[in-house]
């Protein structure tokens, strides 16, 4: 199958372009200065085209982008590919300084058809000019360089991991990252690598932090005396001792830090570095396809825990221990006996239909209530750990329960009444009069905070790299943070700001797209009813103190889409139990985000 050319016609061998776009890339894994790398890559590209009367008019150079990331996901390379379809792009051809930098593995085979389709030549120094799509030798050469690039990256990863394993095991060196709670880093002199030492990089080691080391010892002592992890979290919170995220807010801005979490206690109790030994390779990075049905998107990095027998331990004590080895081993035995150690997972419980799934909130803490199947009936529960209640100084029961059948019948009756034929016009008018923008603002702020957090982490990781941290580990962190930032930026781009106001005609159309709401509610099964609630943008809030449920309809065009709630094939209406006194009639509110 041949591609139909779009834009400029295919140039004949004697017709050479004059205006070129330069495509390049550099990543931290190459340990190169971005500017010097850009210069030598551009110099090679310029030397190739200048003898043919060509010159570079635009540049697309990606910094801190791993070669394993496909061009479609690199900001500058992606911008270049988007411009190929534009006849007024401003350049006639593209030149790269080194094929290994531009294409990795099979990336050339996945990308070059776009150049061929839009009749844009791709010039490569190793080819000596433009790649001829009809020349099998050219394709073979580019495939070979893609394989060389992939092999080079694999060799770098193998060498770095072998070196770091040796450094951790034989030398016990601190290989980078944040120090565990209870320790801080101390400068111990220039980096042993002369080249890194000349750049000002230093070596570090762990030393006890006088402000937090006693807390670690207290946690181990109380646990060995029979305290549970929950009791420890509540005690430390009650005493006003800052949690790890509260003590180091600079690196934990993404965490609330309001209280000691049981997870933080468990991490401290299971961290072997408190015995004085250096431990490395507790976690690993696995690369997985983003979409198995679209391999062109490349891979994403997943962080996973290694088995304990894969951890690398230093052969001797490398820093001052906070906990004796015997006490640490005893703690691990206790945890394993309580079932928190390595064990086989129980089979997952069957999924039950929860009509108010993700739609019901606790009125005390404003968190979503979770579905729980009890006594063969659906319930919703808000379990609020005591340590969080202490830190937030709120009166919150340890568990708040609400039975589904005490809410749904009354909720259906309210919706049926408001959307009945004789009241639907009045309801639509109320929706039009009560349009708001709060939800959009909340979503936008949340996404922007996520982007800022990723950018902060990227700055921190680059500082760590400049400070002499292990390159392979930091590079993986940078890649993960960059992927998260790109995903957040994509969400922000897709987020649509609300229009000024929707008129009643538009809202009427949106409501009618949902079908006959009254008929759907009359005997609908759980799945149909849950879908209708979602399309209406329903939000229900349970106030256990007043024993009431308030329901709000937050209608949004983004919620409705193209699908409609089914009106056919429904079972006959089932008898509905009247709402119990503890969950009175819900309050009506019609708003739009």
The domain ranges of the chain are 19-152, 183-278+314-337, 360-435+501-592, 438-494
Please state which CATH number belongs to domain 183-278+314-337.
3.90.1750.20
pLDDT recorded at residue 214: 92
CA distances from 35 to 24, 68, 95 (A): 11, 21, 18
Q: What pLDDT is stored for residue 585 in this prediction?
A: 30
Answer whether 325's CB lies under 8 Å from 275's CB: yes
Q: How many angstroms separate the CA atoms of 439 and 433, rounded?
A: 17
**53 phi/psi in degrees, rounded to 5:** 80, 15
SS3 state at 399: strand
Q: What is the pLDDT along the chain (593 residues), one digit of tens a residue?
A: 444 344 444 444 446 788 999 999 887 654 567 888 889 999 999 999 998 889 999 999 998 778 888 888 888 999 999 999 998 999 999 999 988 888 888 889 889 999 999 999 999 999 999 999 889 899 888 889 888 888 888 887 888 778 777 777 777 667 777 788 999 888 878 877 777 777 777 888 888 999 999 999 999 999 999 999 988 988 888 888 888 888 887 766 656 566 788 888 999 999 988 998 888 777 888 878 777 777 767 777 788 888 888 888 888 888 889 999 999 999 999 998 875 444 444 555 556 778 888 888 888 777 788 888 888 888 998 877 665 555 555 677 778 889 998 888 888 888 888 878 777 777 777 766 665 545 566 677 778 888 888 888 788 777 777 766 666 666 767 777 777 787 777 777 766 555 545 566 766 766 666 656 666 676 677 777 888 788 777 888 898 888 888 887 766 554 444 333 333 222 222 322 223 222 223 333 333 22
Give pLDDT, residue 570.
26
Residues forming beta bridges with residue 124, ordered by sequence position: 129
Beta carbons of 327 and 333 less than 8 angstroms apart: no
- The answer for residues whose C-beta is within 8 angstroms of residue 197's C-beta and 6 or more apart is 190, 191
- What is the model's pTM? 0.50
Per-residue pLDDT, 324 = 92
> What are the residue ranges of helices labelled H in 383-470?
386-392, 408-418, 424-433, 438-466
Question: In the chain, how many H helices and how many E strands?
Answer: 20, 18
Distance CA 21, CA 37 (A): 17
Residue 284 neighbours by CB distance under 10 Å: 13
Strands 370-374 and 377-383: antiparallel
CB contact set of 256 (below 8 Å; sequence gap of 6+): 245
Structure tokens at 488: 């957040």
Q: Which CATH superfamily is domain 19-152 in?
A: Resolvase, N-terminal catalytic domain (3.40.50.1390)
If 0-12 CB within 10 Å is exposed, 13-18 middle and 19+ buried, where does residue 351 land? Answer: exposed
The answer to whether the Cα torsion of 337, 339, 340, 342 is positive or negative is positive
* DSSP H or E segment with residue 510: helix 504-513
Neighbours of 468 (CB within 10 A): 22
Answer yes or no: are the C-beta atoms of 101 and 24 closer than 8 Å: yes
Alpha helices in 30-135 (DSSP H): 34-50, 75-83, 99-102, 107-117
Give the H or E element holding residue 492. Answer: helix 471-494
Tell how strand 55-63 and strand 19-26 pair up. Answer: parallel
Total residues belonging to the chain: 593
Helices 107-117 and 136-166 pack at an angle, to 10 degrees, of: 140
Q: Are 279 and 312 in contact (CB under 8 A)?
A: yes
| C-alpha distance from residue 8 to each of 2, 5, 89 (Å) | 16, 8, 11
Are 581 and 543 in contact by the 8 Å Cβ rule? The answer is no
3-class secondary-structure state, position 545: coil
Q: How far is CA 542 from CA 136, 370, 407, 568, in A?
A: 69, 12, 10, 32
Q: 183-278+314-337: same fold as 19-152?
A: no
CA dist., res. 329 & res. 323, Å (int): 10
């Amino acid at each position: 199958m041949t591609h139909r050319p779009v834009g400029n016609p295919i140039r004949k061998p004697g017709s050479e372009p004059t205006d070129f776009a330069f495509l390049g890339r550099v990543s931290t894994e190459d340990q190169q200065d971005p500017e010097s790398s850009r210069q030598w890559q551009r110099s090679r590209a310029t030397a190739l085209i200048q003898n043919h009367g060509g010159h570079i008019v635009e540049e697309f150079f990606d910094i801190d982008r791993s070669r394993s990331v496909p061009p479609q996901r690199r900001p500058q390379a992606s911008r270049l590919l988007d411009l190929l379809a534009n006849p007024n792009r401003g350049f006639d051809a593209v030149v790269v300084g080194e094929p290994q930098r531009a294409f990795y593995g099979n990336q050339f085979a996945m990308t070059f058809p776009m150049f061929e389709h839009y009749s844009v030549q791709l010039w490569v120094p190793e080819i000596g000019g433009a790649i001829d799509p009809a020349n099998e030798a050219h394709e073979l050469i580019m495939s070979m360089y893609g394989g060389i690039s992939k092999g080079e990256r694999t060799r770098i990863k193998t060498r770095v991991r072998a070196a770091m394993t040796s450094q951790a095991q034989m030398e016990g060196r601190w290989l980078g990252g944040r120090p565990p709670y209870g320790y801080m880093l101390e400068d111990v002199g220039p980096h042993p690598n002369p080249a890194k030492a000349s750049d000002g990089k230093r070596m570090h080691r762990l030393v006890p932090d006088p402000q937090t080391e006693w807390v670690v010892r207290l946690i181990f002592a109380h646990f060995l005396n029979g305290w549970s992890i929950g009791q420890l979290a509540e005690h430390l919170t009650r005493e006003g001792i800052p949690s790890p995220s509260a003590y180091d807010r600079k690196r934990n801005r993404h965490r609330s830090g309001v209280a000691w979490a049981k997870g933080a206690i468990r991490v401290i109790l299971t961290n072997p570095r408190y015995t004085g030994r250096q431990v490395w390779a507790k976690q690993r990075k696995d690369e997985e396809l983003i979409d198995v049905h679209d391999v062109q998107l490349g891979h994403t990095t997943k962080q996973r825990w290694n088995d304990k027998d894969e951890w690398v331990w230093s052969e001797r004590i490398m820093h001052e221990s906070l906990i004796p080895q015997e006490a640490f081993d005893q703690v691990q035995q206790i945890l394993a006996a309580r079932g928190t150690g390595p064990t086989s997972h129980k089979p997952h419980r069957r999924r039950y239909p929860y009509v108010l799934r993700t739609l019901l909130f606790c009125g005390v803490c404003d968190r979503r209530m979770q579905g729980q199947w009890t006594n063969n009936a659906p319930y919703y529960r808000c379990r609020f750990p005591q340590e969080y209640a202490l830190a937030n100084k709120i009166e919150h029961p340890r568990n708040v329960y609400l039975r589904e059948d005490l809410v749904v019948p009354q909720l259906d009756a309210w919706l049926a009444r408001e959307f009945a034929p004789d009241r639907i016009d009045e309801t639509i008018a109320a929706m039009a009069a009560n349009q708001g923008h709060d939800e959009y603002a909340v979503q936008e702020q949340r996404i922007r905070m996520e982007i800022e957090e990723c950018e902060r982490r990227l700055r921190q990781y680059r500082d760590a790299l400049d400070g002499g941290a292990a390159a392979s580990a930091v590079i993986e962190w940078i890649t993960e943070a960059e992927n998260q930032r790109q995903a957040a930026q994509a969400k922000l781009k897709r987020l649509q700001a609300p229009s000024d106001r929707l008129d009643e005609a538009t809202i009427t159309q949106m409501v009618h797209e949902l079908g006959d709401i009254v008929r759907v509610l009359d005997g609908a099964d759980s799945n149909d009813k849950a879908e209708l609630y979602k399309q209406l943008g329903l939000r229900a809030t349970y106030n256990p103190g007043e024993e009431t449920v308030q329901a709000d309809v937050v209608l949004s065009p983004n919620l409705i889409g193209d699908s409609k709630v089914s009106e056919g094939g429904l079972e006959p209406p089932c008898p509905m139990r009247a709402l119990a006194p503890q969950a009175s009639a819900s309050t009506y509110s019609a708003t739009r985000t």
